[in-house]
Amino acid sequence: MGWKIIDIESNSQVKLFLNNLIIFRDFKKITIPLCDIDVVVFDNIKTTVTIRLINQLTKNNILTIICNEKHLPSSLIVPQIGNFNSLKILEKQINWNVKYKHLKWKEIVTHKILNQVEILKHFNLKFDTHFFNEILLEIRPFDISNREGHAAKVYWHTLYGKEFSRHDDNDINHMLNYGYSILYSYFSRSIIKKGLDPRISIFHKSFDNYFALSSDLMEEFRPLIDWYVYKVNQSKEKILIVDVKTNILKLFNQKCMIVDKKYFIPQAIDIYIDNLVNEREIPKVNFLYDEY
């Protein structure tokens, strides 16, 4: 598995040659071995790419993300690399009962809120610790009282003020949405790789969301994106949106902690999903913000 994230933002021609990704741009030729690549992001609607290359990207288990004219990921090509135990894993997934789903969702929501609190502490923001402690104690089956939503409201207002809404059309939400889309893509690839059906979810349900399970499992990792976007928003230096996107992609080359051991983010996602596949407790993920 490679480690490079290739972000193609210019009007380029992209082809395959001798198991290398070839980019032709401004009369220059850039050659990158496929074995070095983990993700390719196509972020220019005028880029041309061959089907031969796309087939080889999937064969090498490389995640391919395609962005729209607003530079937001709009689709992904997920490698359909089979899991040797996929049928058995699917049978277990189909038989997840309500009690099991409740337990898993409670673990996910609890860890997400704990990671949100860590963000507030990291930036030395003033907040009501007692409120979040109470919220964690009040989480019910499938979070029917929406404790996650109440925690999120206070969390976002603490970060950006009481006038802020995740539905607003502003730079903060544009950056968050881009980061979440990339995170969603990583989870979707890992879910399929592990033999799970992405449509069979724990909590999220939608007729038009093929990757509902990705929407479930990525929740605990969202604060990683939140951390970077808040850091950019507080910076006195003006940062170009191109650099913001590049830095968000670079986050996935960073490490986090799971049970006192460091893993790169994509590895952590695989381990996270392995625990679900093997019906073990979903681990708490700790991000190493001071090292990023």
Q: What is the mean pLDDT of each run of 10 residues along the chain (292 residues)?
A: 85 92 89 94 92 92 89 81 72 90 92 97 96 92 86 96 93 95 93 88 78 94 97 84 90 94 95 90 94 90
Per DSSP, what are the bridge partners of residue 287? 256
Residue 84's pLDDT is what? 64
Residue 135's pLDDT is what? 94
Query: Any idea where the domains of the chain sit in the sequence?
Result: 4-77, 86-291
CATH fold group of domain 86-291: Four Helix Bundle (Hemerythrin (Met), subunit A) (1.20.120)
Residue 274's pLDDT is what? 92
Q: What is the pLDDT of residues 233-251, one digit of tens each?
A: 998 777 788 889 999 999 9
Was domain 4-77 assigned CATH 3.40.50.970? no
Q: Which long-range contacts (CB under 8 A, 24 or more apart) does 124-132 make?
A: 125/158, 125/159, 126/158, 127/154, 127/158, 128/154
Residue 81's pLDDT is what? 60
Residue 232's pLDDT is what? 94
- Global pTM? 0.88
Residue 18's pLDDT is what? 92
The reply to whether 4-77 and 86-291 are identical in fold is no
CB 151 within 8 A of CB 42: no
